[in-house]
Amino acid sequence: MSKIGIDLGTSNSVVSYWKNDEAIIIPNVFGNKLTPSVVGIDDNGEILVGEIAKERLLTHTEMTIATFKRFMGTEKKYEIGTHTFTPIELSSFILKNLRLDAENFLGEPCTEAVISVPAYFNDMQRQATMTAAKIAGLEVSSLISEPTAAAIAYGLHKVEEDITFLVVDLGGGTFDVSLLEMFDGVMQVRAISGDNFLGGEDFTKAIMQACLHENNLEEALLSSEEYAMLQHRSELAKQKVSEGATHTISFELEEQWYEYQLTEEKLQSCCEGLFLKMRAPIMRVLRDSDMTVSDLEQVILIGGATKMPLIRTYLSKLLGQFPYVSINPDEAVGLGSAIQSALKDRKEGLSEIILTDVCAFSMGVEVVNEINGEMRDGFFAPIIERNTTIPVSKEQAFYTVSDNQPSITFTIYQGENRLVAENLKIGELAIKIPKGPKNQQVLARFTYDTNGILEVIITIPKTGESKRLVIQNKAHQLTEAEVEAQIATLKNLKIHPRERSENRFLLAKADRLFAENLGNKRKYIEQLIVWFEGELAKQEEFITKKAAKEFHQILNRLEEDMNT
């Protein structure tokens, strides 16, 4: 029985396996390495998957569905004829088709798989993917994030030195940007961003709209069949121009023929707006990571749309370097999934290539602010900010605003807007305050894990009294015992990094070196201590570990210099 790797893509999917120290893409029944992620129903009510379904997109648009991956983890329904399907069910058809192709090619059952998912997928979407796999007759040995799979395909998990790299994934329907860092053999996501509604299809649509505009035609007047036909011809023109040739789109509407000649210059012009849409998530990822383009050591391009020379040129100029494109962008994630399945099978290096997750949105509480001498409520104070590595535990101090305030209510929100009215309310917790003057301190601790469990603990330092609330992702409800067990595993996170024994040791060592030195060296050690304490104050596990390693190395060098 063979284990397989699967890249379940928005536009195309890939299945692969490991043989003779090499990842190999398995061809489908038509001999192609890519299987379109398209599902349809024929006139006899039978399910069609892949190439056949894609061909019918032109002629049977009402009976064919594509790009449903965008809605994994939602309750969206698709009606095809008399049938109604969810994104999970549609994905299961693709996965089952890939499994059967693998079994046909390998001549043996394939019931276990590593499946790739976008880095931004939350727990709900990951659970939906695993449910689809189960329906398809597959046991998921692990899910691997797409940027990690691509990095593994390029062998970055074998790199011994620390490295920072950007993975840019422009597929048919989605655009994802992930900034990753290899540190001490762990592949760490620093930040993620993207656009679920930007992909190669949008470049095709831009060509199509330019064609209609030049011929004084309106998109709204096209029938679904005419729209599909023009979209198909625009896609063909995009491919031809990308290969360096000028291409003419010819089509007939209401017995009249129209033409549109697409050149490289026209393609550049009609896609300018899309380039700006690509730039925004890239810049956001860099800002969230407190990095600049010059900090990037490598850039990897994946996703079929990145094969367009126009896109590669734009990204090269934007990022100041030539990206890695030696592996077919359509196949990189699939190959990485197969390598991961082999690593799991041999149980080698698993911890070194596990991708840590980040929180996709900020979480915090409602606070009041003083404006023109008047207290106004409705403002958002983030405690855990987006793109924070999880699991994480952070504590923040708040203060009462009036004398003898009887209680304080913490209303909990997630979102990015400064006003809570624009964010999503997810819970509420109140605690009584002992009588006293205003500005009494109240501590709020947020602990968040990869299962979507948020634990909120409110404490009054003066009395030691505390209140606790647990909020969990409704799509993946755990039992009370499971929730408590999960929280127990995060217990160590609730210790402020400054209080952990390893960090206390480093600070004690630094204090000793400060005492043993004089002059400029003493000032330098003082600056080091201030820097390290600042890193600890951020209360982020990855930042703490990285800073501790660097701090330890510097202290060791200082001590060696003293002893020579």
Q: Could you confirm whether domain 200-272 is CATH 3.90.640.10?
A: yes
436: left (phi over 0), alpha (psi -120 to 50) or beta: left
265 in Cβ contact with 207 (< 8 Å)? no
Asked if 453 contacts 401 with a C-beta cutoff of 8 angstroms, the reply is: no
Q: Which residue would you say has higher pLDDT here, 124 or 133? A: 133
- pLDDT tens digits along 395-420: 999 999 999 999 999 999 988 888 89
SS3 content of the chain, % helix, strand, coil (to 5): 40, 30, 30
The answer, yes or no, to whether residue 445 has pLDDT greater than 60, is yes
What is the structure's pLDDT at 60? 85
Please tell me the CATH superfamily of domain 363-487, with its number. Substrate Binding Domain Of DNAk; Chain A, domain 1 (2.60.34.10)
Q: What is the pLDDT of residue 252?
A: 86
Whether the per-residue pLDDT at 297 is higher than 80: the answer is yes
Letter string b/e over residues 335-357, b meaning 16 or more CB atoms within 10 A of that residue's CB? bbbbbbbbbbeeeeeeeebebbb
Neighbours of 112 (CB within 10 A): 18
| Angle between helical axes of 541-562 and 501-516 (0-180°, round to 10) | 30
d(CA 508, CA 533): 12
What are the structure tokens assigned to 70, written together? 């965008």
Whether residue 329 has a cis bond before it, omega within 30° of 0 = no
Residue reference for tokens 């997750």: 357
pLDDT digits (tens, 9 = 90+) for 238-290: 999 988 889 999 988 888 999 999 999 999 999 999 999 999 999 999 998 88
pLDDT given at position 515:
72
Give the relative orientation of helices 332-346 and 146-153 as an angle to the nearest 10 degrees: 80
Question: What CATH code would you report for 1-154+328-349?
Answer: 3.30.420.40
Instruction: Compute the C-alpha angle 195/199/203, nearest 5°.
Output: 130
Look at 189-198, 252-261, 269-278, 481-490 and tell me which has the smallest mean pLDDT: 481-490
**pLDDT recorded at residue 330:** 94
Three-state DSSP class for residue 338: helix
Residue spans of the domains in the chain: they are: 1-154+328-349, 200-272, 363-487, 498-562
83 sits in the region (left: phi over 0; alpha: psi -120 to 50; else beta) called: beta
**CB within 8 A of 118, min separation 6: which ones?**
125, 145, 146, 169, 174, 176, 194
What is the pLDDT at residue 249?
94
Query: What's the confidence (pLDDT) of residue 389?
Result: 82
Mean pLDDT, range 374-392, rounded to an integer: 88
State the burial class of residue 220 (Cβ atoms within 10 Å of its Cβ: 0-12, 13-18, 19+): exposed
Distance CA 11, CA 174 (A): 9
Cα–Cα distance for residue pair 152/327, rounded to 1 Å: 12
* Contact of 197 with 70, CB cutoff 8 Å: yes
Answer whether 0.75 is exceeded by the pTM.
Answer: no
Which stretch of DSSP H or E encloses residue 229? helix 224-242
The whole-number pLDDT of residue 189 equals 80
- Residues 302, 324: Cα–Cα separation, whole Å: 9
Q: Look-up: residue for tokens 């030696």?
A: 326
pLDDT at 151 over 70: yes
- Of 126-140, 143-157, 373-387, 493-507, where does mean pLDDT reach its minimum? 493-507
Indicate the DSSP class of residue 215. T
* Cα radius of gyration (the chain): 27
> From the CB of residue 170, how many other CB atoms can be counted at a distance below 10 Å?
29
Q: What is the dihedral of CA 470, 471, 476, 477, to 10 degrees?
A: 50
Does residue 470 contact residue 441 with C-beta atoms inside 8 Å? no
User: For residue 423, what is the DSSP state?
Assistant: S
Give CA–CA dist 33/82, Å, rounded: 32
pLDDT level of residue 516 (50, 70, 90 thresholds): confident
Query: Is a pLDDT exceeding 60 seen at residue 351?
Result: no
Q: With 70 as the cut, is the pLDDT of residue 483 above it? A: no
Question: Which three-class secondary structure state does DSSP give residue 540?
Answer: coil
Under the banding of pLDDT at 50, 70 and 90, the label for residue 22 is confident
Categorize the per-residue pLDDT at 215 as very low, low, confident or very high, splitting at 50, 70 and 90. Answer: very high
Q: Higher confidence at residue 114 or residue 46?
A: 114
- Helical H runs in 445-518? 480-489, 501-516
Selection from 277, 262, 433, 444 nearest residue 367 by Cα: 444
**pLDDT computed for residue 347 by the predictor:** 43
Degrees, nearest 5: CA angle 275-280-282: 95
Per the structure block, which two tokens stand in for 138?
């597959």
Full 3-state SS string of 367-386: EEEEECCEEEEEEEEEEECC
Rounded mean pLDDT, 30-52? 90
488 or 527, greater pLDDT:
527
Q: Which helix (H) or strand (E) covers residue 452, if one does?
A: none
Q: What confidence category does residue 61 fall into, taking pLDDT thresholds of 50, 70 and 90?
A: confident
